[in-house]
Amino acid sequence: MSSLFDLSGRTALITGSTRGLGFSYALGLAEAGATVILNGTDAARMEDAIGQLAAKGHHATGHLFNVADEAAVEAVFHELDSQGVLVDIVINNAGIQHRQPMLELALADWQRVLDVNLTSAFIVGRAVAKRLVAAGRGGKIINIGSLTSEAARATVAPYTAAKGGIKMLTKAMAAEWAQFDIQCNAIGPGYILTEMNSALVDNPDFDLWVKSSNPTQRWGRADELIGTAVYLSSQASNYVSGQIIYVDGGWLATL
């Protein structure tokens, strides 16, 4: 049974993984045996993240690049090609947030969120899939959605639109790439205690809303997402594709 979830011999790229949920996914996949490649845009955070994994016995490498920049993504994958590294698990986790009413929202801010939170998953996912198909290898693409893949919260319209797009992009990837034994799924985290959410956690009204709006009556923890990430990265999910699994304490299931 344990071999079903064993990621030994696999190579996983997790975008936006120098901190927050991305780092938790990276640690979880490393603990399951995968060789982990981190991504971020801040050299100091990258060094710290690699050091944290090394302290736990995991030798990770890292690449600093903007996931929404097609040329930058292609350059990194060409470097991996030259090193003989074939990524067969990717978690498209990189994301930003911009909280502002739409009536005041600038198009540039709308576009920036869509580029980082949605288009990047297409760019990186396509780079990975192209190489898996060329190698005749299967693999796993895991996109990170959100509760806002299903329901909207006021003042985060570009994030909501992007995460809704993530849900449907995941299905599109499944439709086109299942024939190549590439399973494409998504994880929809609930409200999780992360640095990106710190302003919300510290807001008493918002904190009360989160705790009163879901049946667990608490925020989720980053480590509570790891099991789903390992499952979707492993052979245990080889006949699962196009799905989004909400790790939300039952929030979306209840009125």
Residues that bind ligand GCO (CB under 6 A): 97, 99, 146-148, 153, 156, 189-191, 196-197, 200
CA–CA gap between residue 186 and residue 177 (Å, rounded): 15
- Report in angstroms how near the CB of residue 117 gets to ligand GCO at its nearest: 10
CA–CA gap between residue 163 and residue 195 (Å, rounded): 19
CA–CA gap between residue 28 and residue 6 (Å, rounded): 11
Tell me whether residue 159 is one of the annotated catalytic residues. yes
- Report in angstroms how near the CB of residue 184 gets to ligand GCO at its nearest: 20
Helix residue spans in the chain (DSSP H): 20-31, 43-55, 70-82, 107-114, 120-135, 157-177, 198-201, 204-213, 226-233
CA–CA gap between residue 55 and residue 71 (Å, rounded): 33
DSSP state for residue 151 in the 8-state scheme = S
- Report in angstroms how near the CB of residue 228 gets to ligand GCO at its nearest: 14
Whichever of 32 and 200 has its CB closer to ligand GCO, that residue is 200
Catalytic residue among 25, 159, 191, 246: 159
- Report in angstroms how near the CB of residue 230 gets to ligand GCO at its nearest: 20
Catalytically annotated residues = 159
